[in-house]
Amino acid sequence: MSVDAATVKRIGRLARIRIEESEVAAYQSELNAILGFVEQLAEVNVEGVEPMTSVTPMVLRRRDDVISDGGYPEKIVSNAPLTEDNFFMVPKVIE
Per-residue pLDDT of the chain (95 residues; tens, 9 = 90+): 789 999 999 999 999 999 999 999 999 999 999 999 999 988 999 899 888 888 888 888 888 888 887 888 899 899 999 999 999 999 888 87
Q: Has residue 58 been placed in a domain?
A: no
| Domain range enclosing 10 | 5-42
* pTM metric for this prediction: 0.51
**Tally of domains in the chain:** 1
Residues 1 and 35 sit within 8 Å (Cβ to Cβ):
yes
Q: Has residue 38 been placed in a domain?
A: yes
For residue 49, the 8-state DSSP code is: P
Q: Has residue 32 been placed in a domain?
A: yes
Q: Has residue 22 been placed in a domain?
A: yes
